[in-house]
Structure 1
Amino acid sequence: MSDVTTARFVWVVADDLVLIPRTTAIADAYHALVAANHARLAQWSPSPQEPTLEATRAALERSGQAWLDGTRLPLAIGVPADGGHRLVGTVNLTIDAFTRSAEAGFWIDAAAEGRGYVTRALTAVLAHAFGDLNLHRAEMRTLTTNDRSRRLAERLGFTLEGVLREAAPFPDGPRDVALYALLARDFPMPSRPGAGSG
């Protein structure tokens, strides 16, 4: 099973980076990515069992419906490969329209770490959240022991607002979660192509 997809609908972030809606249209490629990273990601977000294609497809159906409902922006991160795009991770916004807020989440394949994919993907998603979606606040939650995620939050301008004690359940006991937040007024909106006075 290949983690390459030829999905037609893509959001081009850069020549080497696209975002693709997480729907059943990419089920096979997305399942290959999830299965390859399942054991590694369990240290940050434990899953009770190995993923199956059927479970992955069901999760994609739910995320696709949430996208249509406007409660989530579920995206896969892709890079050019073999006439399509190889999936290397995910970025997600869970949206609360009433409070004009969202929680950002992400993960990246081990082989794709350190290349700036998540930073650029999240920057694009946050620009969309604070621009087109007119959100006021974005949150990011991560284990206090996840140094990479904490550095990413700080690099993107998020402020540590506190620690949620023993908020994440794990088989060996609950763990503390760091809560970061970013307000729209503190996010430097990237310039759009063609913007300016001429």
Structure 2
Amino acid sequence: MSTVSVRFVWNIGDGIVLIPRTAAIASAYHELFVANQARLAVWSPTRMDPTPESTLAGLERSGQDWLAGTRLPLAIGMTAGDGHRLVGATTLTIDGAAGSAELGFWIDADVEGRGLVRRAVGAVLGHAFGELGLHRVEMRTLTTNDRSRHLAERLGFTLEGILRGAIRFPDGFRDVAVYALLAEDAADRSA
């Protein structure tokens, strides 16, 4: 995988960084996304065959949403030489009026199971409940996605319910588990 050199990185320790998902990382992000497309399609029905142009357009929209304050789109990276190798992504979709957000993430197959998502999501949650002053962060995942469900539970999220037949896949509808973490829950865990 190729590396990126960008002006801003959020160092979260041990060579792991979060990088704004903007057009500046388009080529490396496209390469990473294409390499993981088949395994991501198991969890998300909206993944289409990406082109360099569609990836660039998506990153441009992410950058605009970031500037508007409605989304915090970040790539997860690892230090590699003079730059960073992209290994995944996390997104916080923000509803400022409600004081809430929805969290999403994915990770490259080659680094899955190393705790990178937990570290990245932990940093994003700290920012959500700290600087952003949010009250609630929600996470939704297919009921069959055991890794994501276990991560939610390890991070202190509470299972609030199951949305039956909530997402349409080519082979039928699937159930979604809804988890939430409130600011006071996060404060209790860090105390």
Q: How does 1:72-91 map to 2 (within 5 A)?
A: 72-91=71-90
Partner of 2:12: 13
2-structure distance, mates of 1:107, 1:37: 9
Q: Please state whether the residue corresponding to 1:86 is helix, strand or coil.
A: strand
Are the counterparts in 2 of residues 74 and 93 from structure 1 also a CA contact under 8 Å? yes
Deviation at residue 19 of structure 1 after TM alignment = 0.1
Q: Which amino acid aligns with 2:31?
A: A
Q: TM-score, normalised by structure 2?
A: 0.96
Partner of 2:68: 69
CA RMSD of aligned residues (A): 1.3
Partner of 1:195: none
Structure 1 residue runs of 4+, over 4 Å off? Answer: none
Q: Which amino acid aligns with 1:132?
A: E
2-structure distance, mates of 1:116, 1:91: 14
Are the counterparts in 2 of residues 90 and 106 from structure 1 also a CA contact under 8 Å? yes
Are the counterparts in 2 of residues 158 and 182 from structure 1 also a CA contact under 8 Å? yes
Partner of 1:174: 173
Q: Please state whether the residue corresponding to 2:35 is helix, strand or coil.
A: helix
Partner of 2:21: 22
Q: How does 1:1-198 map to 2 (within 5 A)?
A: 2-47=1-46, 49-188=48-187
1-structure distance, mates of 2:97, 2:2: 36
Deviation at residue 8 of structure 1 after TM alignment = 1.7
Stretches of structure 2 that go unaligned for 5 or more consecutive residues are none
More displaced 10-residue stretch of structure 1: 170-179 or 44-53: 44-53
Provide, for residues 137-177 of structure 1, a one-character-per-residue CA deviation record: whole Å limited to 9, x for no partner: 00000000000000000000000000011111100011000
Deviation at residue 190 of structure 1 after TM alignment = 5.7
Are the counterparts in 1 of residues 73 and 92 from structure 2 also a CA contact under 8 Å? yes
**Relative to total residues, which structure has the larger helix share, 1 or 2?**
2
Are the counterparts in 2 of residues 161 and 180 from structure 1 also a CA contact under 8 Å? yes
Are the counterparts in 2 of residues 168 and 175 from structure 1 also a CA contact under 8 Å? yes
Are the counterparts in 1 of residues 41 and 47 from structure 2 also a CA contact under 8 Å? no
Task: Report the count of equivalent residues.
Answer: 190
Provide, for residues 69-108 of structure 1, a one-character-per-residue CA deviation record: whole Å limited to 9, x for no partner: 0000000000011310000000110000001000000000
Report percent identity of matched pairs: 67
Q: Judging changes above 3 Å, is the alpha-carbon distance between structure 1 residues 48 and 126 closer, same or farther for their aligned structure 2 residues?
A: closer
Deviation at residue 47 of structure 1 after TM alignment = 3.7
1-structure distance, mates of 2:29, 2:12: 19
Are the counterparts in 1 of residues 118 and 151 from structure 2 also a CA contact under 8 Å? yes
2-structure distance, mates of 1:143, 1:27: 28
Deviation at residue 113 of structure 1 after TM alignment = 0.6
Q: Judging changes above 3 Å, is the alpha-carbon distance between structure 1 residues 190 and 159 closer, same or farther for their aligned structure 2 residues?
A: closer
1-structure distance, mates of 2:48, 2:124: 30
1-structure distance, mates of 2:139, 2:2: 27
2-structure distance, mates of 1:47, 1:130: 29
Are the counterparts in 2 of residues 127 and 190 from structure 1 also a CA contact under 8 Å? no
